[in-house]
Amino acid sequence: MNDAVRKMLATIAHQTAATASTTGRSTLSPTVLAAIEAVNRADFVPDNALNRAYDDGPLAIGYGQTISQPFIVALMTDLLDIEPDHKVLEIGTGSGYQTAILSKLAAEVYTVERIENLAEQARQQFEKLGYDNIHCRQADGYLGWEEHGAYDGIIVTAAAAAVPPALLNQLKSGGRMVIPLAEARGYQDLVLIDKDKEGKAHSQPLLSVSFVPLVAD
């Protein structure tokens, strides 16, 4: 492990402890941290940002989109409680960094990106790096990817005004969704949604966040 990665992991641990009173997680799963360590963030940032690849902050990736800060990526991943046999849906592929981390933990990852150029760039990068359990689609994320549902976990990497009904329908009973939700005043909360065995959804706001908006076609 190089010094930049070691520093990034230390910062994630510090941020996790500092936000434990609202997230309920004072430490993250060792398997999630191992996935963070295994995925080279520099592979998913633009060339002009390589010197900041391991900084604990978001980075612009073009088209008005960003790659989320490592702490938020780690926390959102951890909140899904992914098991090795799980099938996960991601809305908002972006550069593919979050997707790659999910692929280290789940059996299959289905990822949807609205912006065609980003979707194609991410697909090519996954192929180049040998990620063979990631399935990419360029489409409206509000609609999810129905034909491969239901999903054990759904992660949304852009802020919606409300939970898209299609995504809730595609979440398996007993599954979890992590999504940033925007309030009318402009504030955003990271929200954890648990769907119980009877199919009823229970939501819990955890943390103030800042994401680009989720756009529907």
pLDDT at 165 over 90: yes
Query: How much of the chain, in percent, has pLDDT values that exceed 90?
Result: 78
In-domain check, residue 217: no
* Residue 29 is a catalytic residue: no
In-domain check, residue 213: no
Q: Tokens representing 20? A: 């434990």
Domain count, the chain: 1
In-domain check, residue 80: yes
pLDDT at 214 over 80: yes
Which of these is catalytic: 68, 103, 173, 210? 68
CATH number at residue 193: 3.40.50.150
Distance separating alpha carbons of residues 20 and 183, to the nearest angstrom? 23
At 22 the pLDDT is 93
Q: What are φ and ψ of residue 53, in 5° steps? A: -60, -30
Q: Tokens representing 187? A: 């504030």
In-domain check, residue 188: yes
Strand partners, 91: 112, 156
Q: Model confidence over 106-161: pLDDT tens digits?
A: 999 999 999 999 999 999 999 999 999 999 999 999 999 999 989 999 999 999 98
State pTM to two decimals: 0.94
At 51 the pLDDT is 87
Distance separating alpha carbons of residues 73 and 71, to the nearest angstrom? 5
In-domain check, residue 77: yes
In-domain check, residue 216: no
At 184 the pLDDT is 65
Q: Model confidence over 51-82: pLDDT tens digits?
A: 888 998 888 898 889 899 999 999 999 999 99
Residue 174, Cβ neighbours under 10 Å: how many? 12
Q: Is 194 exposed, middle or buried (0-12, 13-18, 19+ CB in 10 A)?
A: middle
Q: Is 85 exposed, middle or buried (0-12, 13-18, 19+ CB in 10 A)?
A: exposed
In-domain check, residue 126: yes
Which residues constitute the domain of residue 179? Answer: 3-208
